[in-house]
Amino acid sequence: MRVCNVVAARPNFMKMAPVVLEQVRRGFDQFLVHTGQHYDANMSEVFFDELGMPRPDVHLNVGSGTHASQTAAVLTAFERVCQERRPDLVVVAGDVNSTLACALTAAKLNIPVAHVEAGLRSFDRTMPEEVNRVVTDHLSDLLFATEDDALVNLGREGIDDGRVHLVGNCMVDSLFRHLETAVGRRPCERLGLEPSGYALVTLHRPSNVDEEAPLRRLVDAVNGASRRLPIVFPVHPRTRERLGRLALTVAPHVLLAEPMPYLEFLGLMARARFVLTDSGGIQEETTALGIPCMTLRENTERPVTISQGTNRLIGSDPSRIAAAVDAVLSGRWPEGVRPALWDGHAAERIGEVLSGWESR
């Protein structure tokens, strides 16, 4: 069996690295395609070095664009790869535009698709990722789920449960594999901060950063929180562009930084007092680490991080954010537990399923 693994954008790398490495360990005939949806060195290249993932065998260099043009560019370029290399299975991860595009390309060529992180639903179709998730799952032959809620969602949509496998969380595999090294590098001390004496912020959702009013409110809230403790804010390129265009400034105790390499961010997250974020992956990573997470959204596709973990939906209202900061700093935040199968062995379970599927 020849497997084509796909990566595209920052959150894919930590999900796919353990899956690719497990296939290498099992001696699969596999190759790696990078669509190039993310291309800056600190959004892409750096993750390969740190995660020990093989370099891509094929780079599609699609770059940025509107949803249609980016998706179309991946469809066209990936079709050529599939026709030339004839994989027996295409493995995609997460919910970015390239995930959908590669799944669709493969399905049209009658190549089976495996989806890592299947079944997550925010039930908010205004999120581009929700559309990508739903369509990718319906095109997939093997669906690898991270949590029980995903099984319920897929069942409700009529997806045959024989195709669905609860394997756990590959992003948590990467986290456990690299945590000691990340913390050992002491990134907070290098920024002059005390462990547990600072918070981390990330913002990149179009609904939070594309329009002036929500972004201004969130910057005000972050500035307010920085009066309680210093805040480290690695800025996504989408957000940096908007902050610059709107000339929004941050308070003195908000430390703006470039997007961070994986190990630096993980080391900082593991020692943060709390995290304010609109990312999906960080909701999971903070739950795995037991760090309080305030999600700056009205919904989440990862409800287990709330029902079991340390995540809470706070939205973007500055008074709710201030109250949540207060709750953490006064010790009123749930400790949470790590969900079942978020144990560092998800990729091994995927490898097991793939081996069984090959010899079916």
The minimum distance between CB 237 and ligand UD1, in angstroms, equals: 3
Long-range contacts of 235-243 (CB under 8 A, 24+ apart): 235/203, 235/259, 236/202, 236/203, 236/204, 236/209, 237/40, 237/43, 238/204, 238/206, 238/209, 238/210, 239/203, 239/204, 239/209, 239/215, 242/209, 242/210, 242/215, 243/215, 243/219
Measured distance CA(7)–CA(102) in Å, rounded: 10
Please give the backbone phi and psi of residue 30, each rounded to the nearest 5 degrees, phi first. Answer: -135, 155
Measured distance CA(180)–CA(190) in Å, rounded: 17
The minimum distance between CB 326 and ligand UD1, in angstroms, equals: 29
The minimum distance between CB 222 and ligand UD1, in angstroms, equals: 19
Nearer to ligand UD1, 243 or 325 (CB): 243
Query: What residue ranges bind ligand UD1 (CB under 6 A)?
Result: 9-11, 37-40, 43, 64, 95-97, 128-129, 204, 236-238
Active-site position among 115, 165, 178, 204: 204
At 36 the three-state DSSP class reads coil
At 60 the three-state DSSP class reads coil
At 219 the three-state DSSP class reads helix
The minimum distance between CB 12 and ligand UD1, in angstroms, equals: 9
- Verify whether residue 165 is a known catalytic residue: no
Instruction: Please report where in the chains the tokens 């390309």 appear, as a residue.
Output: 105
DSSP character at residue 290: T
* Biggest CA-to-CA distance, the chain: 60
The minimum distance between CB 276 and ligand UD1, in angstroms, equals: 16
Mind giving me the DSSP string for 74-103? HHHHHHHHHHHH--SEEEEETTSHHHHHHH
Which H or E run includes 100?
helix 97-108
Nearer to ligand UD1, 245 or 332 (CB): 245
The minimum distance between CB 337 and ligand UD1, in angstroms, equals: 26
**DSSP strand pairing (164-166 vs 29-34):** unpaired
Nearer to ligand UD1, 153 or 283 (CB): 283
Residue 76 neighbours by CB under 8 Å, 6+ apart: none
The minimum distance between CB 63 and ligand UD1, in angstroms, equals: 8
CA 261 to chain centre: 14
**DSSP strand pairing (58-59 vs 29-34):** parallel
Measured distance CA(311)–CA(309) in Å, rounded: 6
Nearer to ligand UD1, 97 or 146 (CB): 97
Query: Can you say whether residue 92 is alpha, beta or left, with left for phi > 0 and alpha for psi between -120 and 50 degrees?
Result: beta
Residues classed as catalytic: 204
